[in-house]
């Protein structure tokens, strides 16, 4: 039995109820967890509020020492945690280890911010007056995280929030609570003061509802479904809200592209993590001159993808996270066929004990089809053919989302045009749509989010408040814009 973590103690939920987490490759339970409720969420918020001021008053370089401790413990425990990610979420072991490595990288980066947390000094328009900005914490932050990166995404959010001096109440996905419990144990072992980090497992309602609506919460950071993000915005009131709400990412392949390189990037982008990344490539937009050849190359590669338990050697793709994800893919296969797209490969549940679905390719897809516009979040790829660069830009921008994008071309003019005109927060040139690095901003435009960027220096912006400070040492009243020369 795994408990909630509130105020530095592992405690039972006041609900008296529990739920189980399952291995998606075997459907076997891996642990029982407390089913938190609104009262538990309030308890966590109160504990975070009590601890926050002392944590904020701790010098940032001292806060950083604990983050460095977390980094070191993650490195020491990387193999075990990577296997846990694979066991609970399903991605193959190499990707599970990569999930943990991403957490290592972001804690190292954000710990470094403990000696920066930059403000600005600027000249005043008046004499004998000094002007500057400084950063302050928001206060209590609610962190609500998804299941697909159960160590990395929480690390993005918590590392930045903590170095800025905030306290946290974290609600992880109920599909991956074991990863959350193990990460909090590392925080505890690293020396995190009691109450600074609190963990409440349980359903979005009522736990998430309380974390969003509480007046004691100063900020919310959420990664997940767009409908949930929109609901958070309606209910949060006046507080800081950061949203990352998915994508429908495209790869443009022009007629001058290195097709073998493009195929490698497409396969990784579409079928890595079984397509369960917000940056997954779900659309390929191919120039008509090379579309036929590209299709043949893709089919040859897709046919060699080995699907199975991610802990087994030689697997290329693991299961989907749960039965609902499988049924969603099945639904979109029927939608695609009914729309007139050609099912060129896959499109079916695999007969075994887990939640496995075949890597799937649709061809003869039009940009306005639902399979080309709506987020499926599975290993389903649509191939769209276009006549020229203008059509390619129109096609890639035709969706409501704007997270990641890619173009394969040897023409630098086309590459820079793609960077300028594609409506996305990330654009890769001659690389896939996945592969964000910890020291660069991550986030999107349009329906993907509300402008917040995580990781990099902008990760600090999400979790800090900028205060402008004036020192007037003139000894007389000076009025800006009135007395200035």
From the candidates 113, 244, 295, 462, give the one annotated as an active-site residue: 244
Answer for the pair 49, 219: CB distance below 8 angstroms, yes or no.
no
Q: Which domains does the chain have, with CATH numbers?
A: 4-245+449-469 (3.40.605.10), 249-429 (3.40.309.10)
**319-to-5, 173, 175, 326 alpha-carbon distances in Å:** 30, 17, 13, 9
Dump the DSSP string for 365-426: --TTSHHHHS---SSEEEEEEESSHHHHHHHHTSSSEES-EEEE-S-HHHHHHHHHHS-SS-
Is 244 catalytic? The answer is yes
Is 164 catalytic? The answer is no
Per-residue pLDDT of the chain (485 residues; tens, 9 = 90+): 899 999 999 999 999 999 999 999 999 999 999 999 999 999 999 999 999 999 999 999 999 999 999 999 999 999 999 999 999 999 999 999 999 999 999 999 999 999 999 999 999 999 999 999 999 999 999 999 999 999 999 999 999 999 999 999 999 999 999 999 999 999 999 999 999 999 999 998 899 999 999 999 999 999 999 999 999 999 999 999 999 999 999 999 999 999 999 999 999 999 999 999 999 999 999 999 999 999 999 999 999 999 999 999 999 999 999 999 999 999 999 999 999 999 999 999 998 789 999 999 999 999 999 999 999 999 999 999 999 999 999 999 999 999 999 999 999 999 999 999 999 999 999 999 999 999 999 999 999 999 999 999 899 999 999 999 999 999 999 999 998 77
Strand-pair category, 140-144 with 405-408: unpaired
Reported as a single tens digit per residue, the pLDDT across 254-284 is 999 999 999 999 999 999 999 999 999 999 9
Question: Six-digit token pair at 257?
Answer: 């592209």
Distance CA(244)–CA(153), nearest Å, equals 11
From the candidates 164, 179, 278, 329, give the one annotated as an active-site residue: 278
* Whether this model's pTM surpasses 0.75: yes
């Amino acid at each position: 039995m795994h408990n909630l973590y509130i105020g530095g103690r592992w405690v039972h939920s006041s609900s008296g109820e529990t739920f189980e987490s399952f291995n998606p490759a075997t459907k076997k339970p891996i642990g029982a967890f407390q089913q938190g409720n609104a009262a538990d969420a309030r308890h966590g918020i109160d504990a975070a509020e009590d601890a926050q001021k002392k944590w904020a008053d701790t010098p940032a370089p001292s806060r950083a020492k604990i983050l460095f401790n977390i980094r070191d413990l993650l490195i020491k425990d990387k193999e075990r945690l990577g296997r846990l990610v694979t066991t609970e979420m399903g991605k193959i072991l190499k990707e599970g280890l990569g999930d943990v490595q991403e957490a290592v990288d972001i804690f190292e980066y954000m710990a470094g911010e403990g000696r920066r947390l930059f403000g600005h000094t600027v000249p005043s328009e008046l004499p004998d007056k000094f002007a500057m900005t400084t950063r302050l914490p928001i206060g209590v932050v609610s962190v609500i995280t998804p299941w697909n990166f159960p160590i990395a995404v929480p690390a993005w959010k918590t590392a930045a929030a903590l170095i800025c001096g905030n306290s946290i109440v974290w609600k992880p996905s109920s599909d991956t609570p074991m990863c959350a419990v193990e990460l909090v144990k590392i925080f505890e072992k690293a020396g995190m003061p009691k109450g600074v980090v609190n963990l409440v497992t349980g359903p979005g309602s009522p736990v998430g509802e309380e974390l969003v609506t509480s007046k004691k919460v100063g900020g919310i950071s959420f990664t997940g479904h767009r409908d949930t993000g929109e609901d958070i915005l309606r209910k949060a009131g006046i507080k800081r809200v950061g949203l990352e709400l998915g994508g429908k990412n495209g790869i443009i392949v022009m007629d001058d592209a290195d097709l073998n390189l493009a195929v490698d990037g497409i396969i990784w982008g579409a079928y890595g993590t079984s397509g369960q990344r917000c940056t997954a490539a779900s659309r390929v937009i191919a120039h008509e001159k090379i579309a036929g050849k590209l299709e043949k190359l893709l089919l040859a590669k897709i046919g060699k993808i080995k699907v199975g338990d991610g802990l087994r050697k030689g697997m290329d793709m693991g299961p989907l996270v749960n039965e609902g994800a499988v049924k969603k893919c099945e639904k979109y296969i029927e939608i695609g066929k009914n729309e007139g797209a050609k099912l060129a490969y896959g499109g079916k549940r695999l007969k075994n004990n887990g939640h496995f679905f075949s890597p799937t390719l649709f061809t003869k897809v039009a940009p306005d089809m639902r399979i080309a516009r709506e987020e499926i979040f599975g290993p389903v790829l649509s191939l769209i053919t276009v006549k020229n660069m203008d059509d390619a830009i129109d096609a890639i921008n035709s969706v409501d989302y704007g997270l990641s994008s890619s173009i394969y071309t040897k023409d630098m003019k086309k590459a820079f045009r793609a960077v300028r005109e594609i409506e996305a927060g990330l654009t890769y040139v001659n690389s896939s749509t996945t592969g964000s690095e910890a020291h660069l901003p991550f986030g999107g435009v349009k329906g993907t989010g509300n402008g917040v960027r995580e990781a990099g220096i902008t990760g600090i912006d999400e979790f800090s408040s900028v205060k402008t400070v004036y020192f007037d040492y003139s000894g007389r009243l000076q009025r800006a814009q009135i007395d200035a020369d």
